[in-house]
Structure 1
Amino acid sequence: MSYELIALLMFSSMMLLLLTGKRVFGAIGFVAAAAALLLWGDGGSEMAFSAAMKLMKWYPLLTLPMFVFMGYMLSESGIAEDLYRMFHVWMGPLPGGLAIGTIFLMVAISAMNGLSVAGMAIGASIALPELLRRGYDKIMITGVIQAGSSLGILIPPSVVLVLYGMIARQPVGQLWLAGAIPGLMMAGMFMLYIAIRCRLQPQLGPALAQAERAQISRQEKLRLLSAGLVPVFIFLSMTGLFLLGYTSLVESSAVGACAATLAALFKGRLSGKVMEETLRKTLAISCMFMWIILAALCFGAVFDGLGAVRAIENFFVDSLHLGPWQILILMQISFIVMGMFLDDTAMLVIVAPLYIPLVGALGFDLIWYGVLYTITCQIAYMTPPFGYNLFLMRAMAPPEVTLRDIYVSVIPFVIIMVLALTLVMVFPQLALWLPQLHYGG
């Protein structure tokens, strides 16, 4: 049997196991371990062991539980609710202001947690009921929360970019800096769309009534400003220490985790229940990602040993005579198709052994491609019929928000994301300028 046929058999077996609904890491790890043993006998068992040791020795992985802990601490202690209340009061007088404030909230949550699920949970439980109560169009605000929550996998500290950095063997610090400008640019595009749409159609996002605004005193506004800025200050101080060179990446994550805990303590919200929930959720998320990374490393090692990447490169370049950009666009389209059925980690683990070496062989920058991959994941999250965010919203939304509303709501935001992806592809410096500025080339 040829190596190409073996690689195809591995890939199809993995997809078949995933369709059974088994755990992603279990399906991928099983196929990798079974293939290694069948191909190389007892010596193949060393692949999984080597992958585990590589994972345990990867020092930047310590940032993962730290940042996840920080996000859940701010969320469970209610500090994130203070942040939304601040945006509610300060942005409410504008047409569509509460929706714009929700995007600000999502950016802040993204900078605290690095996961889209956290933003979706906070947006659906805090922002959505309030926006519906104030007469905002249910279709527009459903799209706002889904699009805003997707920023969590792009704006640092993105957990997805940590996973990508581990598999692609790229520095996480550079990946995070690369995702910052595209993430903020996309958030700005969302806000601009909301502002223009609500100015043209004020009934979609009515401003706070004058009577309600009059009830909020200046002292209350300033109190909310100070309370809401606590998580922003935590993030800026943590990031500032890192960018100024006073702390390493791992040390910065520890600063963020400690600062979030102290903030909850000083506000009198650090109870035993809050700590228990934060630790439990942090442990669950961290362990899930470590198992996935371990399975991906083992699967990638088998693929490298087969030479499958070189065979795929020859197929695209020599047989189909496609250029580098054509191949890259086909890759992004395949991510969007897979995103209709799988989440971002599953997509990366499945195709990383194929795509990442191929991208490097075609002459593209792997830091830049990490941003492209993440934006494409955002688009895939919101693409019907089975986008990941669509079903999260269906599970969390109130009964008056139907599945049709959810599907229709994402259309303008998906168009904006495709535009942002195109801009980053055409102008790579949008992603590469900040890492090059900080790391010197």
Structure 2
Amino acid sequence: MIVTLLAGIFTGYPVAFLLGGLGIVFSFIGGVPLPFLGTVSSRIFGGVVENWLMIAIPLFVFMGLMLERSGVARRLLLTLQRLFGRTHGGLAVSVAMLGIVMAASTGIIGASVVMLGLLALPVMLKQGYRAEMACGVIAASGTLGILIPPSIMLVLMGSILQVSVGALFKAALLPGLLLGGLYIAYLLITARLKPDWAPLVDQNSAEADTTPLPLALLRDLLGPVALIVAVLGSIMAGIATPTEAAAIGAGGSLLLALVMRSLDWATLREAVRETSRTSAMILFVVIGATCFSVIFKRLGGAYMIEDLITGTGLGPYGLMLLIMGLIFVLGFFLEWIEISFVVLPLVAPVIESLDFGYGLSGQGLLVWFAILVAINLQTSFLTPPFGYALFYLKGITEGQIGIGTIYRSIIPFVLLQLAGLILCMVFPALVLWLPGLL
């Protein structure tokens, strides 16, 4: 089943139908009793379609799309450009900081990369930035939305692993900010060592804004920060569930677009259409993956995976490194949704049985493991040949930058993500301190 799935991925056939179809085909090949397929339907309707957590997905998607169209990102980038304009690499740092703020507000990779690319790439190239630095920081900063909450990935992981989504949101906050900090440190050091890669910004080229800088920062940060506090604050304070907080975010993004005078019927219609397309894609993959995983386990696949992993003779950290290496390699070829729904249910029981010496319970171990996987899967958006952030970026360059340049641009940022992953693996407190505190 695994070999056929990987082969099918390269045919370009829709993954959702590939997963579901292989589940049904192998149920007949493996001699699974026909009545057992009825339990697959029960799992799909009872575990997926009726799952209250799934409502958060279209709400978070809608929130991100409306915020992208509100114009707040453009104004914030111009203000950050004024703030860091006297520093080599200041514009790149502004892009990274905007990526962090928008990641905590949108959580949609495609929207974030395209938005950052359209806003910042022409300006950076015009100011003389090296294409490798400009493309790298845009692609890497745009992918932070998959880790920094509210994240659609964490909502799905909570459902798969049966752990609190609120706990995952709290646990992901510090690692997400850590990655953003690593990006900024790298940009400043590179700009210091190679000033020609990141020249000083010509302040006269920026759009004129006579507002004093502190007031401009307050004005342009107020909307996104209020939305972040409303969504994440309500979850962390225990006032709202993630689904309810997603509704707060969707309503808040509508209100913000209204205040920015960017809300009209065309914008609303397009946002609803894109929300429907994205939600339908995710839901169909979840349904197909449910069918695949149920049949895979029925045929003994879960025991096979467990025996393969535990039979290596490696210790707890050796097994964790093995699993992380496997997920990293799969990220070159598969999307995070397929990896989450196919791999996580198989390896989670192995992780729960391990003792890392920190006195963690099963739930604590799964929260830590989920965040490590989320950091790992963030690299799947940047690694060729199927790194979606690279294709989003290539699409908006209109042939001005070659795909080879874009591939080279992401190498240091993938290494930084792996460094962040190792730090969170060696120091679990980076992940578990905030959930324990709150």
The 8 Å contact of residues 342 and 388 in structure 1, kept in 2 or not, is answered as no
Cα gap change, 1:352 to 1:295, in 2 (>3 Å):
farther
Cα gap change, 1:31 to 1:433, in 2 (>3 Å):
same
Structure-1 residue corresponding to 2:340: 348
**Cα offset for 1:19?**
2.2
How many angstroms apart in 1 are the aligned matches of 2:388 and 2:142? 12
The 8 Å contact of residues 165 and 172 in structure 1, kept in 2 or not, is answered as yes
**Cα offset for 1:215?**
5.6
- Which amino acid letter does the alignment assign opposite residue 17 of structure 2? G
How many angstroms apart in 2 are the aligned matches of 1:19 and 1:288? 18
**Cα offset for 1:182?**
0.4
- What is the root-mean-square deviation in Å for CA atoms of aligned residues? 2.2
Structure-1 residue corresponding to 2:14: 23
- Which amino acid letter does the alignment assign opposite residue 404 of structure 2? R
Structure-2 residue corresponding to 1:122: 115
Structure-2 residue corresponding to 1:4: none
Cα gap change, 1:92 to 1:415, in 2 (>3 Å):
same
Structure-2 residue corresponding to 1:409: 409
**Cα offset for 1:306?**
3.2
**Cα offset for 1:126?**
1.1
How many angstroms apart in 2 are the aligned matches of 1:211 and 1:55? 54
Cα gap change, 1:281 to 1:218, in 2 (>3 Å):
same
Gaps of 5+ in 2: 357-364
> Which secondary structure does the structure 2 equivalent of 1:113 belong to?
coil
Work out the percentage of aligned pairs sharing the same amino acid: 33
**Cα offset for 1:209?**
3.1
> Which secondary structure does the structure 1 equivalent of 2:323 belong to?
helix
Q: 1:98 aligns with which of 88, 91, 104?
A: 91
The 8 Å contact of residues 372 and 424 in structure 1, kept in 2 or not, is answered as yes
How many angstroms apart in 2 are the aligned matches of 1:96 and 1:248? 40
Find out whether 1:249 has 2:242 as its counterpart.
Answer: yes
**Cα offset for 1:40?**
1.6
The 8 Å contact of residues 96 and 198 in structure 1, kept in 2 or not, is answered as yes
**Cα offset for 1:173?**
1.2
The 8 Å contact of residues 166 and 293 in structure 1, kept in 2 or not, is answered as no
Find out whether 1:338 has 2:326 as its counterpart.
Answer: no
How many angstroms apart in 2 are the aligned matches of 1:21 and 1:274? 32
Worse-matched range after superposition: 146-155 or 339-348? 339-348
The 8 Å contact of residues 83 and 105 in structure 1, kept in 2 or not, is answered as yes
Q: Deviations over 1:129-160 (max 9, x none)?
A: 11111111111111101111121111001111
Worse-matched range after superposition: 148-157 or 26-35? 26-35
The 8 Å contact of residues 78 and 206 in structure 2, kept in 1 or not, is answered as no
> Which secondary structure does the structure 2 equivalent of 1:32 belong to?
helix
> Which secondary structure does the structure 1 equivalent of 2:3 belong to?
helix
The 8 Å contact of residues 76 and 277 in structure 1, kept in 2 or not, is answered as no
Q: Say how many residue pairs are matched.
A: 428
**Cα offset for 1:220?**
7.4
Cα gap change, 1:297 to 1:435, in 2 (>3 Å):
farther
Q: 1:233 aligns with which of 214, 226, 233?
A: 226
Q: Deviations over 1:73-107 (max 9, x none)?
A: 01123232222222223222322111111111111
Q: 1:165 aligns with which of 151, 158, 170?
A: 158
The 8 Å contact of residues 300 and 352 in structure 1, kept in 2 or not, is answered as no
Find out whether 1:418 has 2:418 as its counterpart.
Answer: yes
> Which secondary structure does the structure 2 equivalent of 1:112 belong to?
coil
Q: 2:68 aligns with which of 32, 50, 75?
A: 75
How many angstroms apart in 2 are the aligned matches of 1:322 and 1:380? 26
- Which amino acid letter does the alignment assign opposite residue 253 of structure 1? A
Q: 2:313 aligns with which of 314, 321, 325?
A: 321
Structure-1 residue corresponding to 2:187: 194
Correspondence 1:227-376 to 2 at 5 A:
227-318=220-311, 320-363=312-355, 365-376=365-376
The 8 Å contact of residues 82 and 203 in structure 2, kept in 1 or not, is answered as no
- Which amino acid letter does the alignment assign opposite residue 334 of structure 1? L
Structure-1 residue corresponding to 2:399: 399
Structure with greater helix percent: 1
Correspondence 1:203-214 to 2 at 5 A:
203-209=196-202, 211=204
Find out whether 1:149 has 2:159 as its counterpart.
Answer: no
> Which secondary structure does the structure 1 equivalent of 2:325 belong to?
helix
> Which secondary structure does the structure 1 equivalent of 2:314 belong to?
coil
Cα gap change, 1:302 to 1:214, in 2 (>3 Å):
closer
> Which secondary structure does the structure 1 equivalent of 2:166 belong to?
helix
The 8 Å contact of residues 82 and 224 in structure 1, kept in 2 or not, is answered as no
Gaps of 5+ in 1: 1-9
Worse-matched range after superposition: 181-190 or 134-143? 134-143
- Which amino acid letter does the alignment assign opposite residue 409 of structure 2? S
How many angstroms apart in 1 are the aligned matches of 2:270 and 2:85? 32
TM-score relative to the length of structure 2:
0.91
Q: Deviations over 1:24-69 (max 9, x none)?
A: 1111111223334541213323313322221133212221111111
Cα gap change, 1:412 to 1:16, in 2 (>3 Å):
closer
Moved over 6 A (4+): none
How many angstroms apart in 1 are the aligned matches of 2:233 and 2:376? 29
How many angstroms apart in 2 are the aligned matches of 1:377 and 1:108? 20
How many angstroms apart in 2 are the aligned matches of 1:213 and 1:370? 42
Worse-matched range after superposition: 368-377 or 203-212? 203-212
The 8 Å contact of residues 51 and 294 in structure 1, kept in 2 or not, is answered as yes
**Cα offset for 1:212?**
5.4
> Which secondary structure does the structure 2 equivalent of 1:41 belong to?
coil
> Which secondary structure does the structure 2 equivalent of 1:276 belong to?
helix
How many angstroms apart in 2 are the aligned matches of 1:249 and 1:397? 36
The 8 Å contact of residues 174 and 431 in structure 2, kept in 1 or not, is answered as yes
